[in-house]
A = this chain, B = another copy of it.
Amino acid sequence: MKYAKIKTKDNRVFEGYLVNETSEFIIIKLKNGYNIGIRNQDILELNKEEIESKYENIEYKKLESRNNKISILATGGTILSKIDYRTGGVHMLTKLEELISLVPDLLDYVEIKNIEIPFSIASEDMLPDNWIEIGKILVKLLNDDVNGVTILHGTDTMHYTSAALSFIIKNLNKPVSITGSQRSSDRPSSDAFFNLLSSAVYDNSDIAEIAVVMHGTSSDIFAYAHRGTKVRKMHTERRDAFQSINSLPLAKIFPYNKKIEIIDNNYRKRNNNSPYLDDKICKKVALIKTYPGSDPDIIKYYVDKNYKGIVIEGTGFGHVPTNTIDKKYSWIENIKYGIERGTIFVMTSQTIFGRTNPFVYSNARLLYNLGVIYAEDMHPETAYVKLMYVLGHTENYDEVKKMFLTNIAGEIGEKSFYEFFNKE
C-alpha cells in the first residue's frame, strides 16, 4: 500500500493513502475519511512511500477476537466497483479487501467474521431468485456468532431487495443492514466508506430489523437506517437518495462517533430466536401504472399470461380511468375480466407518498366493491414484493386479502402518519 505526501503549486499540503493515479490526477484518501483528487498539473512535490498496511491481505478469521463481530454478504453494485480511469467505465473490484483497505476505521471498530459473495451483479439485474439466494446465505450468517450482517448491494433496486428480505426472513434475531454507494469507491466523492462504517454501527445496535443504511444528507454527517419495507430510492445521483416513505427512519447513525440515535422506538429488538427462510414467493405478479390515455388491455395481457396478481399504480387515492365517453380507455371492464378469472388486484398510488383510500370518491369505491385490495400506505414497490410473497402462500382471495392487509414487517403504517419527507 502506498502513502502519498503532496505539496501543490499554491502551497497546500495533503497526505493520505494513495487511491489512484492517472495521467491527469492523483487521488488520495485523507485522514478524515474523504478522498481528494488533485490535478497533476497543480502538483509541485509528490512523495510516495510504500507502507505496510494492516488492512491489506487481511485474514479475517485470524484477527484477535473483538466484541463487535459482523459478517458481510456482498452481491455487487457500485460499492464493489472501481472506475477504469482510462476508459471511464466502471469495473468490479477483484477483491473486497480492496474496498475494506480504504476504510481503516472499519477494522478498528469491528471484526469481520465472514465474507460471502454469492454473485456480483448490478442491481438492475437482480431477480426474485437472487432474493432467495441472498436470504439463504443471510440465515446462515445470522445463525453464526456475529452481532449483525452487512449486505452490499447496488442501489438501483436495493429497496426491492430490502422489502423482499423483510418478508422472507422469519424470526429475525439481529440487525441486518443493506448498504451500497452512489459513487464508486475510488471516486473522490464516494459515499462507500461512510455507508460501510454506518452499516457496521447499525449491525452492532439493538435493532433486529432489515434496514437500508445510507447517507442521511448530502454531506458526511449522519446516515439513516430506513426500515426495509418503507424505503425507496428517490434520486438518481444524490448520496441521500434513499428516503423513508410514509414513515420515519428507524435511526440516525453518526459513524465517526460510532453512535446510533433511535428515531422510531417501535422496533423489533435483538433476540434469541432462530431465523429461517420462508422462500415461497409467486413470480407471476405484475406492476402496472395508469396515466391519461393508458391502454387498459394491458390487464388482459397479464391475465391471459396466467398472472396471479397485478399491482396497479393508480392516481391520487388509488384511481384508474373509468371513462364512460370512450370505453376503450376504461380500466373497469378489464379489471372485472381479471377478477372473474381469479387474478388478485392491489391498488397503490403513483404519488408514492400518502395512503390510498377507496372511500372518498365513487370511482374508487367501485373498484373496492369489485374486490380490488387497497394497499393502505404501502408504496408500489413494497406492495409488489408483498403480493409476490402472499401469493406464494395462498391464492384464495379472502386469505390473500387478509394476509396482504396484515402487518408482517412494518410495511403498514399508522393511519395518523402524515409526513412528507425526511425533513430533519
Contacts and interface: CB of A to CB of B under 8 A. Distances in A.
A90 to B, nearest CB: 6
Interface of A: 88-90, 122-131, 155-157, 160-161, 233-238, 240-241, 283, 285-295, 298, 301, 305, 313-326, 329, 349, 351-357, 359-363, 381, 384, 388, 418, 420-421, 423
Contact of A354 (B236, B315, B323, B329): B236
B351 A235 contact: yes
Given A124-B322, A125-B323, A353-B236, A287 B298 contact: no
Nearest to A287: B291
Nearest to A314: B124
Contacts of A288: 289
B420 A317 contact: no
Given A241-B351, A291-B381, A124 B320 contact: yes
Contacts of A326: 127, 129
Q: Which 6 A-B pairs rank lowest in CB-CB distance, beginning with the nearest?
A: A236-B354, A156-B315, A156-B316, A124-B319, A235-B354, A235-B353
Contact of A362 (B89, B301, B329, B357): B89
A124 B363 contact: yes
- Residue from A233, A298, A305 having most chain B Cβ neighbours under 10 A: A233
Contacts of A329: 127
A238 B316 contact: no
Contacts of A355: 236-237
Contact of A418 (B233, B238, B361, B363): B238
A354 B238 contact: yes
A156 B90 CA distance: 40
A292 B160 contact: yes
A293 B234 contact: no
A325 B316 CA distance: 38
21 contacts: A90-B360, A123-B315, A124-B290, A124-B320, A124-B321, A127-B292, A127-B293, A128-B292, A129-B326, A155-B316, A160-B291, A161-B292, A235-B354, A235-B420, A236-B355, A236-B357, A237-B317, A288-B289, A289-B289, A291-B381, A295-B305
B88 A233 contact: no
Contacts of A423: 423
A362 B88 CA distance: 10
A131 B363 CA distance: 21
Contacts of A322: 122, 124-125
Nearest to A318: B236
